[in-house]
Structure 1
């Protein structure tokens, strides 16, 4: 064998942060961090991807090219891919079908959560549509399987909504689409194996569902972004610490919520709409308001459009 046999592909791939987007119908791509200039809040934004009318972007995040991307489906299965294996495409391209990149991914399942990591320490904390939560050691997902594996057990009428990395001793904030949120200690949820169902995290009404979870850290605020393009930040202390399983308190008033994040003043925010319009604004432009308030305009939307995803960008990521 010649010298080429000793070459590791990662040695010739630049290690850098990139923007990853994936649409509801499973078209994925990565783009350079400088693809979008910063704007002022309330702006109209720019096109992030070109999609069919019935498709929309529902995953937007920052990842390192050398990280593993763990893809969790709505039915609780996880698949692996390296970020550098994702197609590099321009801002207007819709992406490539994720089922063509991850051959083991069942085309009848949708990807509901993605975790990019190169360090498999800590835990994965899961949240489902019906308010069930589960905590599993991240190390149980450190050995990629070609066909994927079951990440959690689900009731027939339930689906996975969100997954986050935790330390095992964090606090958790679980938020619903009707503007409610509950904050509790992660230690209230014991560690369970991959196939376990989990326990009740938040009680949701029949016309609502869980839209995400956040892991608050000291000095951060809770960002809430609504489907109509408004948003605000609130102090973590405004959400009283309670036991898991309750209905929680009002998170944002009179709006359907699209995303909830923990953020720092030095972060930036990317918001993307159902029609593929994206805006990038400084987090400091979004005021810290009371928990049960409406918020301010972050993004102007065209008729029939709505916000479907929001992602923070840390200082130094771009």
Structure 2
């Protein structure tokens, strides 16, 4: 034990295993239990295993184990170093704040004021109940006089809106009352831009695994709609109940660009470990997404900066 050699195989194997899961996450099967999607939801957190392995290697005096830890470090930096280290450009044309405000929010007025204080030109919300809608209209009305609401999603804008349409992203079997999609055209200072505000179905982790079938179906429906949209500039903002790495959202995210910097973990609000609230674009560049302070919701708001092309 003093030389550490009995631990070498275990530590080297653990380090290589972590690197393999990071680099080859798409090879993890997504059949029963959707384990692949579950892994991809928390993929950056695999990096936590590296310092643990490194400390164990030091304790066991395993030089081979310590050197092996460099492999997952290199893979993690290759995959996520840009999000962690890169600085977004200082210039941008408009900002949008995205927030699932929670239908059980005990302080909707405080939440609305927090969103207004960001001075974003666009404010997109989900889980907006009929009882709380007047509160948001009252707080945001002066700064964002233009609004569009459909079902439980809404958009407040500093600029005029037109061509307001509902977007049906209901999975099979969901009732007609389930309305979580909206498309509008925003007459922004740099030109018109189509904006989708959406809220995909929730996912659950239980004894049978990661239940995301309804969300995946809804993402595919939205992806098809995006593919057919003729708009040159397009934004999708909303609670997607998934990360951009999650293959279940592939039919949607493969058609859109994600920000190149910032983790911006948004859920759960008390101790966020993943970003399921997204700002994605086509024909525009989402230069940065950052998470804001918690409100009365179980999500944190995220602020996206947009560069028009």
Q: Do the two structures share a fold, i.e. TM-score over 0.5?
A: no
Q: Select the structure of larger CA radius of gyration.
A: 2
Hey, which of these two has a bigger chunk of strand by percent?
Answer: 1
TM-score (normalizing by structure 1): 0.30
Q: Which has the higher helix share?
A: 2
